């Protein structure tokens, strides 16, 4: 896959921490930044997918009645 050069401004302390981590892992900044961006995008996609699933469930009226949720919470509290 084609790579593109981008520029990012970070605080000096973050760059120092990134460099220290890169050195301890025997990696370079680019590797760590690519891993971080990949992880971030994966988490954001997961959250958006879950939100969209919940919106679809609400649109389809696949909801749990509030009274049933209150009963469940009360039951769980009693178990403690």
Kindly tell me if the per-residue pLDDT of 69 is higher than 90: yes
Rounded average pLDDT over 1-9: 93
Q: Residue 10 gets which letter from DSSP?
A: -
Kindly tell me if the per-residue pLDDT of 23 is higher than 80: yes
Rounded average pLDDT over 41-58: 97
> What pLDDT was estimated at residue 16?
98
**What is the rounded CA–CA span in Å between residue 18 and residue 59?**
44
Kindly tell me if the per-residue pLDDT of 33 is higher than 80: yes
> What pLDDT was estimated at residue 79?
86
pTM (predicted TM-score)? 0.73
């Amino acid at each position: 896959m084609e790579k593109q050069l981008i520029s990012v401004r970070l605080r000096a302390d973050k760059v120092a921490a990134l460099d220290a981590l890169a050195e301890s892992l025997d990696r370079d900044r680019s590797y760590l930044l690519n891993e971080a961006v990949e992880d971030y995008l994966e988490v954001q996609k997961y959250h958006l997918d879950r939100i969209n699933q919940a919106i679809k469930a609400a649109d389809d009226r696949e909801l749990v009645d509030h009274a049933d949720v209150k009963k469940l919470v009360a039951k769980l509290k009693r178990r403690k």
